[in-house]
Structure 1
Amino acid sequence: MVLNQIGPLPTLDLVDLGVPVTRDRPREYAVLQRALDVHQGLCVGDARFTAEPETLTTTDAQDMRRMCLTCPVAVPCGTYAAAALPSAGMWAGTQYPLEESENA
């Protein structure tokens, strides 16, 4: 197994990545954190994913959504975001904060 050859992956913490979090959702957070311990999210290192939505171009948003479609942590990322309702960022292809109609 390749993981055994390269050693353990470094643990990433969402707070260390500068991810804005507004609600405490320990169960969903723990699942996402475990996924990030094994797989690196495709958004890691890409500042667009934590940028304010008005700073993104249409092309940026489309590229980011495409990245999310193939990301190995998309499911736990989306589950966490749906529960925590982050104050900003693109999570599993969805831009937060949600519009009022999406948040109802």
Structure 2
Amino acid sequence: MTDPKLPSCPVSRTASILGLRWSAEILYEFLVHETRRFQELQDTLEGIAPNTLSNRLKLFEDYGLLVRRYYEEHPPRAEYVMTETGKKLGPIFKAMRDWGICIQPKD
């Protein structure tokens, strides 16, 4: 998929997706749990607006990080599952966590 709005530099492209508000928190949830339902995310991510969560999930689907899987037909209910492409974020998040520990403010 080629999106003219995304930078051509791979580092900038990654930063443009992960740098969106709530992106890192949502994707981290999938790295920990792999499969999540909308309401589970809404309950876990305190303060996120439903439309923001919906927009991020759609974005992550568009870029192949998540897939939506229906588990109930009437009414339709879906869960989101991290793809192999999404799972490749694991080392990035580990590095972010490790680096974040190093930069904690000193008392």
The TM-score, its normalising length taken from structure 1, stands at: 0.30
Greater radius of gyration (CA)? 2
The TM-score, its normalising length taken from structure 2, stands at: 0.29
**Relative to total residues, which structure has the larger strand share, 1 or 2?**
2
Ranked by relative contact order (alpha carbons within 8 Å, sequence separation 6 or more), the top structure is: 1
